[in-house]
Amino acid sequence: MIYEKALCFLDMPSIKNKDLCTRIQGENVNISCLEDKFLKAKFYKCEIASLSFVLALLCKMSDENTFKDLDEGYLSAESCFGEEEASDTLNFLTTAKYLIIDKNIDLYKDSENIKYFLNFLSQKYQLKILDSNEKECHFENAKFNPLKELDNYDGLVLFKANLDDNNLHCSKQFLQISKCKDQSEVEILAKDFNLKTTLCLDENLQGTIGFLNHENFGFDFTQIRIKEAK
């Protein structure tokens, strides 16, 4: 099935879910911290793991009365998702058909509010909610709670990606911050795991997010430190 007129909240679907990525065609919008050049969608950038604030901003700007306690300036500043971009997105929703989200939505911080906001937008704009496995989602029972503060992802970040090798693919900026060289053997130190791998410079990548195929059953983004392997 081909999906068009979809507002997506997907991180690199071309390497996370290639089949879905190829079926998103026509006029679409994707809001993410990572731009996927293979996804047929207009891209709006936001901070890592800021989906709750992005959705809260969209809901606030679409219904001032229901969400009068939310501060759009604060939501926009914290998520780095501009009010102008939010306004353009809401205009797009008037003709949209789908909201497409990550299948692992329960792993997101503040997932209950995320579901509540998604349900609100789906009801207001008559949209079908699909996850990245193309399964229809229903969040009518989600409850609105005080928003949880966003986590800070300053420094180096690891993104779990379905790659053909076990190297850590990264940008020049990533190498500079890690103080390591291309093709060097390194140890990755994270909160819940440590592992060894090889750094691999990818000139197409930018920023401080590195891509690695690794066992991680939690959220796709992990803050890390890197040191030369011994």
Q: What is the pLDDT of residues 114-143, one digit of tens each?
A: 999 999 999 999 999 999 999 999 999 999
Across the chain, mean pLDDT equals 95
Distance spanning both ends of the chain, measured CA to CA: 50
Phi, psi of 187 (to 5 degrees): -110, 130
User: What domains are defined for the chain?
Assistant: 6-131 (3.40.228.10), 157-228 (2.40.40.20)
C-alpha to C-alpha distances, 26 to 46, 134, 200, nearest whole angstrom: 22, 17, 34
pLDDT (0 to 100) of residue 70: 97
Instruction: Report residue 166 CA to chain centroid gap.
Output: 22
Instruction: Report residue 73 CA to chain centroid gap.
Output: 21
Q: Given the structure tokens 């500043």, which residue do they identify?
A: 77
Q: What is the pTM of this model?
A: 0.94
pLDDT (0 to 100) of residue 208: 95
Confidence of residue 184 (pLDDT cuts 50, 70, 90): very high
User: Encoding tokens for residue 162?
Assistant: 């379905």
At how many degrees (to 10) do helices 111-125 and 51-62 cross?
Answer: 30
Can you tell me the mean pLDDT for 155-180? Answer: 93
